């Protein structure tokens, strides 16, 4: 099911084009990462999708229909720094949010349990750490049980522990079947959380695809031996190697997906070739991101 689709979405500020004819779509259940350097148009895109910023031209559809109050109620969002009343408790702050969203107070306790703040529900917001404040903001977005969640830099300013906590919370929420749109500059976090991603630069879409596919193209196997020439000669006879390069005293292999390090190790053992290094290297979304940017220089 298509949750969101844009058609030639454009935003101009006098001489500046913040977003230029953006076309993309998101399917139900995706955790969709929106990537790009500063000024690429990520926040502008989210602002337009939430009807906070009016597009200069183009259009978008939520749930197959033009944007309307009914569709907006199915979307929970955090676009900026969480803003709550500091002297009120988590429960009191969420009651205000519930009034604004016209939803029942009965969802508050369950929401606080989901975001891990139930034990601190009666403590003033001002006593919370940055990570706890961000979790309460996610709770506010979840309160009306929306079908879609939109997060703009949800781990911005957090320490490593807070980043891990928010990442794990987003993964838990995604496992309930909700569709999540996430803008971030932390590529390692996007790699760990997202199923799909899109790259923007200067308001232009450069790429859209699945994270798993992008990483699959980068997976390699490194093999080392005291005698590199003999090792290379043997590996050239091994079935399933797509590409073989040498780097230092190692061979770097791109292989068919079914090839394992165990199979390569067994093959070299049968050839009586000593091996002092054998490891599979996973791909990096950061590397793929930089490749995409360089391809569009």
Query: 256-259: which pairs have CB atoms within 8 A and are 24 or more residues apart?
Result: 257/216, 259/221
Q: Is the pLDDT of residue 208 over 80?
A: yes
pLDDT at 38: 84
pLDDT at 27: 96
Distance set, CA 170 to CA 71, 167, 234, 266, 295 (Å) = 22, 5, 46, 41, 31
At a CB cut-off of 8 Å and minimum separation 6, what does 224 contact? Answer: 231, 249, 250, 251, 275, 276, 277, 278
Q: How far apart are CA 94 and CA 110, in angstroms?
A: 12
pLDDT tens-digit series, residues 222-256:
999 999 999 999 999 998 899 999 988 899 998 88
pLDDT at 75: 94
pTM over cut 0.85: no
- Rounded to an integer, the average pLDDT of 125-137 is 93
Domain annotation for the chain: domains and CATH numbers: 2-212 (3.40.50.300), 219-281 (3.30.70.100)
pLDDT bin (cut points 50, 70, 90) of residue 37 is confident
pLDDT tens-digit series, residues 175-190:
999 999 999 888 888 8
The encoded tokens of residue 43 equal 């926040």
pLDDT tens-digit series, residues 46-92:
999 999 899 999 999 999 999 888 888 899 998 766 689 999 999 99
Which DSSP symbol is given to 29?
T
| Average pLDDT value over all residues in the chain | 91
pLDDT bin (cut points 50, 70, 90) of residue 106 is very high
pLDDT at 80: 66
- Rounded to an integer, the average pLDDT of 256-265 is 90
| Extended strands (E) in 192-293 | 196-201, 204-210, 220-224, 241-247, 250-255, 277-281
pLDDT bin (cut points 50, 70, 90) of residue 39 is confident
- What are the φ/ψ torsions at residue 179 (nearest 5 degrees)? -90, 130
pLDDT at 70: 84
pLDDT tens-digit series, residues 16-29:
999 999 999 999 99
More confident residue, 252 or 217: 252
Q: Is the pLDDT of residue 216 over 80?
A: no
Q: How far apart are CA 163 and CA 157, in angstroms?
A: 9
The encoded tokens of residue 95 equal 């009651």
């Amino acid at each position: 099911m298509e949750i969101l689709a844009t058609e030639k979405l454009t935003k101009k500020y006098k001489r500046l084009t913040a977003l230029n004819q953006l076309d993309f779509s998101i399917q139900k259940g995706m955790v969709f990462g929106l990537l790009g350097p500063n000024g690429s148009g990520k926040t502008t895109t989210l602002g337009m999708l939430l009807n906070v910023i009016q597009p200069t031209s183009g259009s978008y559809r939520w749930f197959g229909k033009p944007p309307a109050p009914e569709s907006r109620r199915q979307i929970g969002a955090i676009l900026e720094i969480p803003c709550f009343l500091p002297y009120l408790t988590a429960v009191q702050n969420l009651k205000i949010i519930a009034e604004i969203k016209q939803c029942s107070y009965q969802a508050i306790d369950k929401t606080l349990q989901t975001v891990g703040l139930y034990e601190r529900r009666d403590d003033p917001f001002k006593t919370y750490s940055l990570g706890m404040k961000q979790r309460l903001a996610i709770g506010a977005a979840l309160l009306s049980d929306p079908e879609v969640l939109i997060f703009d830099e949800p781990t911005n300013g957090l320490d490593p522990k807070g980043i891990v906590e928010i990442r794990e919370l987003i993964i838990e929420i995604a496992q309930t079947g909700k569709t999540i749109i996430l803008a971030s500059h932390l590529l390692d976090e996007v790699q760990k959380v997202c199923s799909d991603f899109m790259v923007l630069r200067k308001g232009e879409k450069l790429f859209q695809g699945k994270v798993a596919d992008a990483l699959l193209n980068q997976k390699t196997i490194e093999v080392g031996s005291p005698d590199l020439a003999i090792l290379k000669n043997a590996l050239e006879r091994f079935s399933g190697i797509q590409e073989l390069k040498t780097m230092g005293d190692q061979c770097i292999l791109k292989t068919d997906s079914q090839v394992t390090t165990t199979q390569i190790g067994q093959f070299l053992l049968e050839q009586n070739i000593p091996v002092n290094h054998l490891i599979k290297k996973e791909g990096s979304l950061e590397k793929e991101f930089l490749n995409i940017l360089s391809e569009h220089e």
